[in-house]
Copies of this chain bind each other. A is one copy, B any other.
Amino acid sequence: MFKVREESLQHLEIAEYLIKNIRSGTFGVNEKIPSENELCRQFQVNRHTVRQAIARMTNLGWVTPLQGKGCYVNSLTRPIQYVLSSKTRFSENMENNGLKHKSKLLDWKKERPTEEERVNLELSEDEMVYRLEILRYVDEKPISITTTVMPDKEVPFLEAYLNEFKSLYSILLEHYQFRPIRFRSTFQASLPMLRDSELLEIPESIPIVQIESVMNHPSGSPIEYSVARIRGDMHKCLVEF
């Protein structure tokens, strides 16, 4: 129960030394820390020990190693405040934070919903849905992947408007004349799937926030079910009651 576990953990000392130097600014943001071999010489330890220290720092979100280049100090991530209310949208939130943003449609399909989607959207067995996968950027950096599912019947011929994709909500407003209203959301901390970490360009050990939401048509019926997977180190979600 009361573990002691001190003594002779060189990799922890190396990690602490490096973090202290990042904190103090000796290694600045977006700069390189010394190479693995350099650190081996400095601390007179094996490369494996240095790599353990760097793995730890990577997990804690301090640095990102890049093959062939070096190990870079992550930019300070004062988290973006994302306000969740019945009305707020991604783009409005980013504009409130004064941030440049954009969205990219990775893929879309028209197909049968999964069981979960069917339940959340209150659909019958044979109805079809549009499934969109959207990658969102802030300041040119990818920050979230969202899978959005909408019933076919509510947004007929949606594909006609997807070629020039800017924002899902602008399409809905422009071509279907409505704004979805957030009905409920759940939050969960998780770790990225392989595909997430590739698209978001983060190591697999950085936590992500998964937000599942059900949005309603202004008339009250559920119209959109979305699952967003967001970099956890760059976000803070605010809910007011």
Contact = CB atoms under 8 A, between A and B. Distances in A.
Interface of A: 3, 56, 59-61, 79, 81, 84-86, 181-191, 198, 204-205, 207-209, 232-233, 235-241
Given A85-B241, A182-B241, A187-B209, 20 more contacts: A56-B204, A60-B204, A61-B191, A84-B239, A181-B241, A184-B238, A184-B239, A184-B240, A186-B236, A186-B238, A187-B237, A188-B235, A189-B189, A189-B208, A189-B209, A189-B235, A190-B207, A190-B233, A191-B207, A207-B208
Given A79-B188, A236-B186, A239-B239, A205 B3 contact: no
A40 to B, nearest CB: 17
Contacts of A237: 186-188
Nearest to A2: B198
Contact of A3 (B3, B198, B236): B198
A232 B81 CA distance: 20
5 contacts: A61-B191, A185-B238, A186-B237, A189-B208, A205-B205
A183 B240 contact: yes
Contact of A241 (B184, B186, B191): B184
Nearest to A81: B186
A239 B204 contact: no
A7 B12 CA distance: 32
A189 B186 contact: no
A239 B185 contact: yes
Contacts of A240: 183-184
A238 B84 CA distance: 12
A188 B205 contact: no
A190 B187 contact: no
